Chain A
Amino acid sequence: MIFLKQVLTILWKDIRCELRSKQTWTGMGLFALLVLVIFNFAFDLRVDNKAAIAPGVLWVAFVFASLLGLGRTIAAEREKGSLDRLLLCPVDRKAIYLAKLLGNLLFIGVVEIVALPIFAALFDVPLFGALLPIVLFGTVGIAAVGTLFSAMAAATQARELLLPVLVFPLIVPVVISAVRATGTLMVPAANEPPWLGLMAAFDIIFLSASMLTFEYVIEE
């Protein structure tokens, strides 16, 4: 019970700080929109190649926008010294991880909710209800790994450079699965692997490993 209370308290604090500073959401949202608009102009979109291009564009926007937000998750607290104060509290480190993960999912989720209709309009693709679990599982995978490595990168001076270098190789399976699953929604294909199941499996592995190792990453 105390664990859950502490998770919600940290999450409440992060949301309130973000609503007042508006640093992360604004940057992530603008970046995602810019990527969608630039790709829309850069490619010669036709009916026959749309399904090959659009899923990739969508996930490039989501992945890079997510990394912008993930980079700030713990770095901002470490820069201000408030992370030390949080670590001084009698709080299970897993609670800190879970709160930061939920915060990241919320921030990325809001950006995705704004970006998806714009994507649908620019690329002239319908929004399928089945896209929701794909976006959800893909985002959980990216956020689970990103939250862990943002804690690791925050302790270094080259955090902006280090975070993508650490995160990208690990999220490749989730991103490939997400892109293929989104493509399959647009043009159904036979004998496709169960992409959604693969994403769920990766999410469970990433979440478990991150929860277990976060304590060693966050503490000095």
Chain B
Amino acid sequence: MSYLSIKGLKKSYTFKPILRGVDLDLCRGERVALLGANGTGKTTLLRILAGLTKPDAGSVTINGMDIVHDALQARYRVGFVAHQPYLYDELTALENLVFFGRMYNVNEVHERAVALLNKVGLARRARERVSALSHGQAQRLSLARALLHSPPLLLLDEPDTGLDEGGNELLADILNEHSERGGATLFTTHNLEHALSWSDRIAILHAGRIVYTRETEGLELEDLQETYREVLRPRTKVLS
């Protein structure tokens, strides 16, 4: 049974359709990389799944729970990382985690926050304000925040943006660990190499629909690059 189930999802902004009927399922322990050109609706899709944006049509269920009707309960099951950290600059790294931990009603929040700061390599900067951290460090902190309440579903919007090699290795480890524990992950990226090595399945979003999906096992990077180019090739007519 799917842990995350998306059926016929549609969304328009001022009459411009962004998502035209997205269907996608994720099982427990599965990691899916969502690819697509800029403006194809990847972020919109993740925002809908996280409960930040309401869809015009279609349904999304997380473990059988509708994200619109059971929004409050569904939020406990989702960890979200945006391509920008969106933290409180005036608070320290530790204070940020403790604040969000309390919002998720996490038990022994201080200990959990310290453990996660250790995990993402920010223990020594725990008492520094976020404004003093680099973008990559803030992104690591944002990753720690998403893991605070041990969510079964991780939604990551270009989580590799601004991360150095060490940060990318850390991210890959976290995704593996999450998957081994039975958690599902849906992430977007423009890096096909990351998509291939960090996921079990690739999905390509184009013109508001999932137009390609395939298991990564046995898939070569060159094949993925070729498929990606083919799918996204412009098919517009030249006006004479």
B72 lies within 8 A of A82 (CB)? no
Partner-contacting stretch, out of B85-93, B176-184, B194-202: B85-93
Q: Do B82 and A16 touch across chains, with their CB atoms under 8 A apart?
A: no
A92 vs B75: C-alpha distance in the bound complex, in angstroms?
11
Q: Mark A8-35, 1 if CB is under 8 A from B, else 0.
A: 0110110011001100000000000000
A-B contact number at CB 8 A: 64
> B95: which A residues are within 8 A, CB to CB?
16
Interface pick from B49-57, B115-123, B218-226 = B49-57
Known: A5-B102, A89-B75. A220 touches B52 (CB 8 A): yes
Q: For the complex, give the distance between the alpha carbons of A2 and B82 in Å.
A: 26
Instruction: From the candidates B52, B80, B99, B104, name the one contacting A90 in the complex (CB within 8 A).
Output: B104
Which chain B positions have C-beta within 8 A of A90?
72-73, 75-76, 103-105
Q: In the complex, what residues of A have CB within 8 A of residue B90's CB? A: 16-17, 20-21
Contact A9 B86 (CB under 8 A): no
Please give the distance in Å from B104's CB to the nearest CB on chain A: 6
Q: Given A89-B100, A89-B103, A13 and B88 touching (CB < 8 A)?
A: yes
Q: Are A9 and B102 in contact (CB under 8 A)?
A: yes
Interface band, chain B: 20 to 34
* 18 more A-B residue pairs beyond the given contacts A10-B103, A16-B90, with a C-beta to C-beta distance below 8 A: A6-B103, A9-B102, A16-B91, A16-B95, A20-B90, A21-B90, A80-B86, A80-B89, A81-B86, A84-B52, A85-B82, A85-B100, A88-B78, A89-B104, A90-B76, A219-B54, A220-B53, A220-B54
From A2, A20, A81, contact of B84 by CB (8 A) = A81
One of B51, B72, B86 near A85 (C-beta < 8 A): B86
For B72, the closest partner residue in chain A by CB is A90
Known contacts A16-B90, A16-B91, A21-B90, A88 near B80 by CB under 8 Å: yes
User: Is A201's beta carbon under 8 Å from chain B?
Assistant: no
From residue 175 to 218 of chain A, which have CB atoms closer than 8 A to chain B? none
